[in-house]
Structure 1
Amino acid sequence: MSKRLTSKYKIDRRLGVNLWGRPKSPINRREYGPGQHGQRRRKPSDFGVQLAAKQKLKGYYGEISEKQFRRIYEEATRRKGDTSENLIGLLESRLLAAVYRLKFVPTVFAARQVINHGHILVNGRVVTIPSYHLREGDVIEVKEKSRQMMLIMESIGLPERDVPDYFEVDPSGMKGTFVRAPKLQDVPYPVQMEPNLVIEFYSR
């Protein structure tokens, strides 16, 4: 697990984007990086562009360590088909991403918390591993005893996000089914993701 302790919103300012599309993001008020020299933006090199693309995609999914992210990339390269699309499909197949996409929680960081604390079931069994890989047809639901949690009840009603069509969701039952691994165009990222640059970064 990553040991990053800094505020998640510093990522927005460092990368210069509202990574999760949230109204609270400080980038909505200050479109420059944190710190004394945050307003000095030089034109990045090719390496800098690739690194920023990697940090943006990696940061979006919360506390993924570099080791974990590289392992996902390596699995994407082993699979048949487009490596960029495979990378996105693997990231979206993680339980953490599913709990966030199904709107059981307001943020990816909250998704990690509710999974770690045993509030989420997969196919009727408690799973406490955020990186758990989902397969088509897997059913994800909030444990019955946890359905009255304020965090979960408020999140389901938030208008900020829609559930993408690679999930079937039953909001009243706090349950959803993972239908398929998505392509890049299917994923509702609030900002442009460039997995092709991530592939270039690791394949140097």
Structure 2
Amino acid sequence: MKRTGKTPRFKRQRRLLTELPGMGKAGALERRPYPPGQHGLQRRKYSEFALQLEEKQKIRFHYGLREEQFRRIINKAQKSASTNWVEALVNLLEKRLDNVVFRLGFAASIPAAKQLISHGKVLVNGKKVNIASAIIRVGDKIRLKDEAYENQVYLQAKQAPRLPLPTFMVKEEVAGKEEGRLTDEPNLEAVPFAFEPGLVIGYYSMRG
């Protein structure tokens, strides 16, 4: 079997002992709620660095970002916030179009949302946007092209919603089709899994 070099999504989540909704299917921790490998059942000893690294990886994997992409967004967040730049980071990540499409329930995962976007199936304020990293503003209206509501990506998400609609979004039917809108700025509470912002700050403060 050819190896792709990619770590399976379930294995990544088990390694971090956290289900990351953005990666897709639920149940990563149900069958084996411990890290992969022969020593998975043994008690793990964590250094401060290991804790910081894992907390950073949770955020990066959930939002589906490469390390260099993540670093660029962090730099932007650090420049825009004088104190808690992690909150600014979460604000930027949650407003990315791929995440908004996912959180609105138009796709069952962030990779699936990227697929809809790259195929030109997503409209923002009535105009096609095919850039997954586009930042959505409060008041922007997000919907799919009419034919995309019959797309398997959308239908699968409708059949088994991954997350409830967050408080900073609304969704309604317009002309018989679902349309979503960002109503407020996302904050740290928007992250749909438990994480420690201080560990992320610690990881990057040690690395400049």
CA distance in structure 2 between the partners assigned to 1:96 and 1:161 by the alignment: 15
Deviates more, 1:51-60 or 1:163-172: 163-172
TM-score of the superposed pair, with normalisation by structure 2: 0.86
1:140-179 to structure 2, matched below 5 A, reads 140-171=142-173, 172-179=176-183
Runs of 5+ unmatched residues, structure 1:
none
Q: 1:23 to 1:150 in 2, by over 3 A?
A: closer
User: How far does residue 173 in structure 1 lie from its aligned partner after superposition?
Assistant: 2.2
Provide the C-alpha distance between the structure 1 equivalents of 2:11 and 2:69, rounded to a whole number of angstroms.
Answer: 21
Give, as a single letter, the amino acid of the residue that structure 2 aligns with 1:175: E
**1:199 aligned onto 2:176:** no
The answer to whether the 8 Å contact 2:108/2:162 transfers is no
Q: Partner of 1:127 in structure 2?
A: 129
Are 1:15 and 2:16 an aligned pair? yes
What SS is found at the alignment partner of 1:170? strand
| SS, match of residue 140 in structure 1 | strand
Query: Which aligned pairs between 1:79-98 and structure 2 lie closer than 5 A?
Result: 79-80=80-81, 81-98=83-100
TM-score normalised over the length of structure 1: 0.88
Gaps of 5+ in 2: none
The residue matched to 1:174 in structure 2 has which SS? strand
Q: Name whichever of 90-99 and 164-173 sits farther off.
A: 164-173
Which residue pairs with 1:183 in the alignment? 187
2:113 is the alignment partner of 1:101: no
Partner SS, residue 27 of structure 1: coil
| Aligned equivalents of 1:116, 1:23: Cα separation in 2 | 21
CA RMSD across the alignment: 2.2
In 1: Cα distance, 2:35 partner to 2:124 partner = 39
Question: Which amino acid is 2:17 matched to?
Answer: G
Q: Per-residue CA shift, 1:155-203, capped at 9, x if unaligned?
A: 1343542111211212552211122221112x151x3122221122111
Matched residue pairs, number?
Answer: 199
Instruction: Indicate conservation of the 8 Å contact 1:119/1:146, yes or no.
Output: yes
